[in-house]
Homo-oligomer: A and B are copies of this chain.
Amino acid sequence: MEQTRMIPPMFKQIDPPQRFLMGPGPINAHPRVLRAMSADMLGQFDPEMTEYMNETMALYRQVFMTQNQWTFLVDGTARAGIEAALVSLVEPGAKILIVRAGRFGLLLSEIAERVGAEICTLDLPWGEVASLAQIEVALQEHKPQVLACIHGDTSTTMAQPLDGVGALCKKYNVLSYADVTATLGGVPVCTDRWGIDVVSGGLQKCMGGPPGSAPITISDRAAEHIMTRRHVEAGIRNASLTDGQRPRIPSNYFDLAMVMDYWSEKRLNHHTEATTMLYGAREAACIVLEEGLENRFARHKMASTALIAGLRAMGLTIFGDDAYRMANVTGVWIPASVDGDKVRLRMREDFGIEIGTAFGPLTGKIWRIGTMGYNAVKHKVLLTLGALEAALAAEGFKPPRGAAVDAALASWP
């Protein structure tokens, strides 16, 4: 057999350097999450496994601040949650209105195009957000079936206000979707108060978990719409299951009707739930809720406020409008005299701290510094500021030494 000619490569054990990941994500995972993930497998339909699934649903209802029955995990990274939502909500040929003010707004149209939707957009310069009035005008003009937007777009560090958006969509009989990958667990994600129908996120930002699982929540009216597209697999059909009358969802893996049948008491076999990621998602939610959502939001706010105070004390300029800034990722203009990538390299190589680069029109212009989840804490903010000061000094930009750390310390209550 061929393999006898092969020599197994002798790779070392997994042993990543202990860095602070202070970029736009992934960030360091909470050790409790990783520990929970080291538990062994269960059978897919073992009562202990389905109980963990039910508990995970209950936990994420609280994380999403919703009463939605349909609150569960999509097995893939945050992007999988977005695609599952759009492919299940938007029928081929249906019109979708997308609010675009950054890279992830563009990603929504990229995904919706592939789903076969007719795309219309509300485009804003990177760094701006849409007003309710702008959204209403766009709804009136385009008459879409679905509205989709990003809550916190890490590419711009701005958060789109969503209060009132759900009500507007209901007024025009439009289903609504919001991606909250960057904000879930760090900034209020008020699913029910917003009235957004489908909201999906990820673990690797403020939730303090690893990438690879996408929590999602679905309103009853959206679930009803999705169920009109249900189509049960031939291999597992039985008399108690009826197909919907509307066009079948053009993906099997992302067919939320089937995923709901799997997470429901029907326990209809679909994929094999990613056990280890489920353990991690459940533990991340436990940690979030034990801390308490309000405490957690306050901690994120405090960390970014201190970070900003420190950056300003260094003489740097913060990107974007304070009124709409995300409390977990901060954009800062790279001084004209320095090479942003050289500073990032020094940060990583000398101090073991990662800060983020940028995309699209902001490439080379801003850094993005995350203070999220397990990393939204005083010592990591202070160490990051101290390291950035030293790296900037080494690259010829001379901030007043010590000022950043002092300012951040002073801003911490």
Chain A residues with a Cβ under 8 A of chain B? 1-4, 6, 8-9, 11, 13-19, 21, 23, 25-29, 31, 34-44, 46, 48-49, 52, 55, 58-59, 62, 65, 75-80, 83, 87, 103-104, 106-107, 109-111, 113-116, 155, 188, 190, 192-193, 202, 204, 210-212, 233-236, 248-255, 269-277, 279-280, 282-283, 286, 289-290, 292-294, 348, 354, 359-360
Contacts and interface: CB of A to CB of B under 8 A. Distances in A.
B190 A1 contact: yes
A11 B286 contact: yes
Given A59-B9, A59-B11, A233-B110, A83 B252 contact: yes
Nearest to A190: B2
Given A16-B42, A43-B23, A250-B250, A62 B6 contact: yes
A234 B354 contact: no
Which applies to chain A's interface (DSSP): helix, strand, loop or mixed?
loop
Contacts of A250: 114-116, 250
A187 to B, nearest CB: 12
Contacts of A23: 43
Nearest to A282: B14
Contacts of A52: 14
B28 A212 contact: no
Given A52-B14, A290-B8, A253 B83 contact: yes
A36 B8 contact: no
A175 to B, nearest CB: 20
4 A-B pairs closest in CB distance: A212-B274, A8-B289, A103-B235, A210-B276
A34 B29 contact: no
A72 to B, nearest CB: 14
A294 B3 contact: yes
Nearest to A297: B1
Given A114-B248, A354-B46, A39 B15 contact: yes
B359 A236 contact: yes
Nearest to A283: B14
A357 to B, nearest CB: 9
Nearest to A46: B354
A192 B2 contact: yes
Contacts of A236: 103, 359-360
Contact of A76 (B80, B111, B360): B80
